[in-house]
Structure 1
Amino acid sequence: MSDFLLLTGAGLLAGAMNAMAGGGSFVTLPALIAAGVPSVAANASSTVALYPGGAASAYVYRSGFDPICGAPAGWMLAVTLAGGLAGALLLLWTPTTMFDRLLPWLLLVATLMLAGGPRLGAALRARLAAGPAVVLAIQALLGLYGGYFGGAVGLMMIAAWSLLDGADFKALNPSRTLMVTAANSAAVLCFALAGAVEWHETLLVGGGALLGGYLGAQAGRRLPSAAVRFATLAIATGMTAAFFIRAYA
């Protein structure tokens, strides 16, 4: 019963977080490890468990998908799927020790980009014309990261897009949910075929995440942009600090 409450509750919270800002794996991965799942299997199981919630969020946001810096949504989706597949295969074939130590620095960059996005983005756009080719290249790398580990990939997408595009911060959420779900689609298939998923624990987390993703997306559509941005920055800061402690403590 304690594992049931832990994993279902973690899924509910993570699903809502992913719908509004991202970072849900920061809740589900420790919960799965606390329930006795080995870390590599916990990483794969977390991705699979959060997939239905992300898909539910994408459905809620389905009318709000917009091109990013002129890059068509179809091309963005294709490079994200390809990157997610490559990242998932890389995770299955290589050890994660080096990447675990690099991850906090990636999160720190993403957090700084989020914090300085509006001012830095305006200055960058005045000196650099970020056309569709640049956006697609960056998106392919983000898809690769999403398939390999996925922690805060939604935050990183928002951070990168906010620098390259002058769109409202909240307006980027629909595209974020679609692209994260695309990267995870490839990863979920790979992990399931490789037998890397602990299905009992995954189903408990996934059930909570499905409901949390739908409710979180509904709330995210109604919250002011400033509130969504503040919550995203708070999550990003906390996640960055926690991963530094995890990697270097």
Structure 2
Amino acid sequence: MDIALILIAAFAAGVLNTIAGGGTFLTFPALVFIGVPPVLANATSTVAALPGYLAGAVGFRAELAQMERAVVLRLVVITLVGGVLGAILLLVSSNEAFSVIVPFLLLAATLVFMFGDRLRAWAASKSRAVTPYGTAAMLMVSIYGGYFNGGLGIVLLALFALWGMVNIHEMNGLKTALSFALAAISMLVYAAGGLVVWHHALAMMLAATAGGYAGAPLSRALPKPVVRGLVAAVGFGMSAIFFWRIL
């Protein structure tokens, strides 16, 4: 039953990530509910998302090729550094401390997901309000992503808008490439620290990949507000459950 639960959660997460994002709201809680300690569940959930990031990066390779190579490489290096720092923070976090932080992270990620379009629009109106391709902002976002992956894509898109980027396809390509780099380096740190439950992670990778494929036709059939409402309900529901767990 435990394996069935995480496979279903991973498949549904793959579908959601293809349609709108928010797969973390399913994979992380599913692992916790079957008894995986929160820190290990967070690391394992991030590793399970790795194939999806890779597929996205490959899919946007044409858009990435249009960007200045030196800029992309510089951002990848900053992302790798931030990912390592965030993963180390997770490595030294106790399950008790992380359990207290998780509800707030889930709630914040849900709010970012719900208001992602408004956040990007606001960021676009403030374009170049921060240094384009600056180190400090990219490093902070990467540290967050290495520590907790929820809502990372939306935060990255908002950051790109603040830099003044306007081509959504280039933005999505850069987002997926940096997300893959961050998840890959985080996986190495997690693995070195023994945080990954590999048999769960590998099974969830396969299920999430299948879900991502199945999500393509669904993304054309389901209205966007319906999907967003579903993800928001899951996110708020999971946040409430984890708040209840710490009371």
Which TM class, normalised by the smaller chain length? Answer: 0.7 to 0.9
Q: Note the C-alpha offset of 1:47.
A: 1.4
* Counterpart amino acid of residue 24 in structure 1: G
* 1:103 aligned residue: 105
* 1:114 aligned residue: 116
Q: Which 5+ residue runs of structure 2 have no aligned equivalent? A: none
* Counterpart amino acid of residue 185 in structure 1: A
* 1:185 aligned residue: 184
Q: Note the C-alpha offset of 1:27.
A: 1.2
* 1:28 aligned residue: 27
Deviations, residues 7-30 of structure 1 (Å, cap 9, x unaligned): 222222222333444321211112
User: TM-score under structure 1 normalisation?
Assistant: 0.78
Pair 1:75–1:27, CA change in 2 (3 A): same
Pair 1:234–1:144, CA change in 2 (3 A): farther
Q: Note the C-alpha offset of 1:80.
A: 1.0
* 1:210 aligned residue: 209
Deviations, residues 78-107 of structure 1 (Å, cap 9, x unaligned): 111111111001101123245325425643
Deviations, residues 37-88 of structure 1 (Å, cap 9, x unaligned): 22222111111222123212222222222659x9921112111111111100
Q: Matched residues in 1 for 2:226 and 2:140: separation? A: 25
What is the aligned residue count? Answer: 239
Q: Secondary structure at the match of 1:132?
A: coil
Which is worse superposed, 93-102 or 146-155? 93-102
Q: What pairs with 1:60-99 in structure 2 (closer than 5 Å)?
A: 60-65=59-64, 67=67, 72-95=71-94, 96-97=98-99, 99=101
Pair 1:206–1:122, CA change in 2 (3 A): closer
Q: Matched residues in 1 for 2:228 and 2:80: separation? A: 27
Q: Which 5+ residue runs of structure 1 have no aligned equivalent? A: none
Pair 1:105–1:62, CA change in 2 (3 A): same
Q: What pairs with 1:6-21 in structure 2 (closer than 5 Å)?
A: 6-21=5-20
* Counterpart amino acid of residue 194 in structure 2: G
* Counterpart amino acid of residue 153 in structure 2: G
Pair 1:162–1:235, CA change in 2 (3 A): farther
2:243 counterpart of 1:248: yes
Deviations, residues 194-232 of structure 1 (Å, cap 9, x unaligned): 11222222221111123334555x669x96xxx77x578
Q: Matched residues in 1 for 2:90 and 2:49: separation? A: 18
Pair 1:31–1:11, CA change in 2 (3 A): same
Q: Note the C-alpha offset of 1:164.
A: 4.1
Pair 1:133–1:172, CA change in 2 (3 A): closer
Q: What pairs with 1:125-140 in structure 2 (closer than 5 Å)?
A: 125=127, 128-134=128-134, 136-140=135-139
- The answer to whether the 8 A contact 1:58-1:177 is kept is yes
Aligned residues with identical type, % of pairs: 29
Q: Matched residues in 2 for 1:112 and 1:67: separation? A: 29
- The answer to whether the 8 A contact 1:88-1:148 is kept is yes
Pair 1:171–1:13, CA change in 2 (3 A): farther
Pair 1:114–1:170, CA change in 2 (3 A): farther
Q: Note the C-alpha offset of 1:139.
A: 1.8
Which is worse superposed, 239-248 or 58-67? 239-248
